[in-house]
Structure 1
């Protein structure tokens, strides 16, 4: 069981930002990544649609004999993680906006959160904000349109820059000193975001924390790989394996990218 793969799924290519942190921390682990780009963005779907898609993704990874599943999507986590944990025996690692570190460290008392509608309107996000950001002003900003542009590899575009300026302006004007990225696609926008934000605003995403939690759970369950051979790194996309490969071009190890009719 130890040498079974870690499963990771996201509503597209964004979760590769999480995959990279997990692989960096756990290089001996084999990992299977599922990019459900055909249904991106999840943030604009109903809760039931998100649940149904998460079940479908989970069933695929279970069929591949994964030992643990990382839900590398804020919207899927905030809307479905409780359901998945209640209905499957396998351990799940979720991801949600890193409100806690921003709220604990802010000096201005104002924190900005850029996320999808599906994440910001979820019950779990509301509970997390109430728990950790009491007394803190949280400026919530929907990132409508950002995920489709990333999925189309249009990060360096006028349309992207215009949207980012529009969404970040209220956060800057509110005098926030932290910006929390609440979507796994958004770390790919950090170079563009830094061109707009004042230098004193710190950017937080959840990638490293998710990797550390994945390792901790595997250690607790005695499931860390003891494989002496090379790990297998497999990727599946239900739209374009060429696009997925673009977001993996900095990976030095041998990877396998497949098209999946899914």
Structure 2
């Protein structure tokens, strides 16, 4: 139960999903107690923002962290990889506002951490143990967390698309399960949303290479899993709840989103 960090610095370059900008991230070792910290090295003074629930300022389509001039968005896929591979402390240097989308999943970030290697540190890890059920509900959507000896996520996705419908996933989140069953699941997008998203300045870097895209009838991208949508939703929850720390609890969600996930993260922090 000691804290862990990466063994060496590693670099990844790609484009941001929503910004469409070229971006490079460098993940570096950090001392015990640092947590996950993003440093905007493209800005004067290299301002930093910690990956904590209190720094969430927006959760529309992706999770945004902000502290003064330091702002980063779409951090959930990277944070999920850090969580699953048990990286407690890391400095993420980034030269734009958004990490690379890579292939739309967490798998490239898992491989990045594996390339860096992992080292234990001489400080014990703190564990957030859920002792009382907490719930966030908005209309027909909800996310709740219950006391549980482990970390488990149960998710029901309901989507009107004829190829999606109801999808159900229930996973005990371990490193092996995450790498095999969750990390490869990619972001889902729909052709009919593309123009509206781009008008909002979103999905500017989206393509068939970094998302599972559906038209009105079918998937235009070969699927990695028949239920890839619900697996990616679980991935998002892991990344969003990583803003709390390491959790012991059972998450149950129906049609949850980044907004509900991060609201629950803030609620958990308030109860600690």
TM-score norm. by structure 1 comes to 0.27
TM-score norm. by structure 2 comes to 0.27
Task: Give 1 or 2: higher strand fraction.
Answer: 2
Task: Give 1 or 2: higher helix fraction.
Answer: 1
